[in-house]
């Protein structure tokens, strides 16, 4: 769920993980799926779980990232 409530851990929320992902994608220019997942796994304390995929979907639907299927990588659309 994107909207937080009183039980939401902000450090593992979709908007927070999406912001970390977008920052890393923008800094790298092009980053592979596996490298991005490793980076975010180190940054998020309690584990990513499904939040990683939800965050990437969120950014893709907003038009902030694009996915290159041949390279299995992401680029930022800033």
Position 48 in a domain? yes
Task: Report residue 9 CA to chain centroid gap.
Answer: 16
- Cβ neighbours around 14 below 10 Å, total: 22
pLDDT in tens, 17-31: 999 999 999 999 999
Position 45 in a domain? yes
Position 2 in a domain? no
Position 8 scores a pLDDT of 76
Position 51 in a domain? yes
Q: pTM (2 decimals)?
A: 0.87
CA 37 to CA 34: how far, in whole Å?
A: 5
pLDDT in tens, 27-71: 999 999 999 999 999 998 777 888 999 999 999 999 999 999 999
- In CATH, what number is assigned to the domain containing residue 25? 1.10.10
Position 39 in a domain? yes
- Check residues 14 and 47 and name the one with the higher pLDDT: 14
Please give the residue range of the domain that contains residue 28: 11-76
What is the total count of domains within the chain?
Answer: 1
- Cβ neighbours around 42 below 10 Å, total: 8
Structure tokens at 23: 């920052």
Position 1 scores a pLDDT of 54
Structure tokens at 28: 């790298």
Position 5 in a domain? no
């Amino acid at each position: 769920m994107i909207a937080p409530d009183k039980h939401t851990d902000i450090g593992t929320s979709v908007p927070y993980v999406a912001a970390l992902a977008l920052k890393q994608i923008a800094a790298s220019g092009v980053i592979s799926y596996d490298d991005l997942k490793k980076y975010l796994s180190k940054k998020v304390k309690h584990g990513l779980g499904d939040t990683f995929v939800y965050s990437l979907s969120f950014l893709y639907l907003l038009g902030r990232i694009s996915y290159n299927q041949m390279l299995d990588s992401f680029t930022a659309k800033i």
